[in-house]
Structure 1
Amino acid sequence: MDASSHSITQLIRFLHSLRTDNTRQSSNRPINALLIIDVQNDFINGTMALQNCPSKHNGEEVIPVINRLLDSINFDLIVYSYDWHPIDHISFFDNLPLRSHLLTSDSISLADLRLYSTATFANNGLDCMKQTLWPRHCVQNTFGARLYPYLKIIDEKNNKDVSVIHIHKGTKSNIDSYSTFWDNSKLNKTALQQQLQNKHVTHVFVTGIATDFCVYSTAMHALENGYKTFIIEDACRGVDDETIKENLYHFMQKKR
């Protein structure tokens, strides 16, 4: 699964064909968006590096694949998403004492919760909210929250044929957000859907970190919103091989 793989070459040819199939009727040409999900320092060599997760993936391996896509395809819209958490965010294991009073009766007990456990919190009138407890990561305005330095960042000012947007998610203290469209309880949405509609996007291609969480959730919501959606597996890395397999299967079932 490297940038020179046969599958990536085929994908690039496919994307070129999408752009040229309707040259005589340009109004019917597919409008393609590339979503680059959470390619941030903390997920590659920081506090939540994938190599320290069960998958032992090297998150840096997504960089040459994504960069090749950016160099080879003239996408109509490029989206960079960021996990962008306040310091007291609910997903941080070391913030658990701040919300111990919100643990529900059917949650794992405070004494038994560990890093990567799933806690169940009472949440703003909702019955409950399940939350995986992660290491502290991607705190707003820190080095760990920055995009990885070797990732190509497209500057819209120098590329007039493409639109570029940056989306921050997980910005509220008491709720997490895996998807780049919604928070995990679908209470708050980002600007992504409106931006895709504004650009008349038809096809969404999802890359980045982590395959089984933020990539998967974003892709599922893209399907729900009616886009022809693709996960570029060679351009993704994830947390756990089993959940990657399960979630990619669910995604493919949803596409049918």
Structure 2
Amino acid sequence: MHLTSTDVLLVIDVQNDFLPGGALAVPEGDAVIAPINRLAERVPHVVLTQDWHPPGHASFHGSHPGKAPYDIADLHYGEQVLWPEHCVQGTRGAELAEGLNTERAELVIRKGYHPGIDSYSAFLEADRRTRTGLTGYLAERGLKRLLLAGLATDFCVLWSALDARRDGFEVFVVEDAVRGIDLDGSLARAWDAMERAGVGRVESAAFT
């Protein structure tokens, strides 16, 4: 696949808390770092996202007495998976992963910092109204094709891919540069939803 000047590598939430040993570890999450670094040297533009929760965020199970990790709660915008406390602002767990090459990143989008709203997507938070501003940034710069990498395939990568398609971007998920959590079959459902939305799948070695 030939890279062009309107391509952007969107690296989603490659943070310490999502790596092995982290508070919300994605299985083999550290395996995405090497392919992302290779792509970051080749793709003309790089954008990063960073989960950035305040303490006591509404998506944390500890904010809901009697609830356990991965339970469901009804928040003002609908059903919400309740997560272990993770990516709290200013903590080591929220930092971008050691070893991740961030030197060529032109923008870092922090999301999930509104106390009462979770944010999986790099474009639109979980209330489906609050925008991060990424769509406008990409459009204003004339960037048209997104190559998605990072964590986790079945949550933040999925939602970002679907929202990017809705906003009119061409989207590919780099298969060897993502890993999933897979809660009760969520990974298979994610790939199916992305395929139906017109999201492509590609290996990092395909880019020239």
TM-score by length of 2: 0.90
1:134 aligns with 2:83: yes
Post-superposition CA distance 1:168-196 (Å, at most 9, x none): 00011111010010111122111211110
1:234 counterpart (169, 176, 188): 176
Q: Which runs of no fewer than 5 residues in structure 1 stay unpaired? A: 1-13, 20-29, 51-56, 98-110, 157-163
Letter in 2 for 1:139: V
Letter in 2 for 1:214: C
Q: Secondary structure at the match of 1:177?
A: coil
Letter in 1 for 2:88: V
Could you say what the CA RMSD is over the residues aligned between the two structures, in angstroms? 1.5
1:147 aligns with 2:96: yes
Post-superposition CA distance 1:74-94 (Å, at most 9, x none): 32x211100100102011111
Q: Secondary structure at the match of 1:255?
A: coil
Q: Secondary structure at the match of 2:97?
A: coil
Q: 1:74 to 1:211 in 2, by over 3 A?
A: closer
* Aligned pairs (5 A) from 1:100-119: 111=66, 113-119=67-73
Q: Secondary structure at the match of 1:252?
A: helix
Aligned to 2:203: none
Give the structure with higher Rg (CA): 1
* Alpha-carbon separation, structure 2, partners of 1:74 and 1:210: 21
Aligned residues: 197
Aligned to 2:191: 248
Aligned to 2:202: none
Report the alpha carbon displacement of residue 204 of structure 1 after superposing the two structures with TM.
0.6
* Alpha-carbon separation, structure 2, partners of 1:184 and 1:74: 29
1:80 counterpart (48, 52, 59): 48
* Alpha-carbon separation, structure 2, partners of 1:95 and 1:61: 31
Question: Which runs of 4 or more aligned residues in structure 1 lie more than 4 Å from their structure 2 counterparts after TM superposition?
Answer: none
* Alpha-carbon separation, structure 2, partners of 1:227 and 1:180: 13
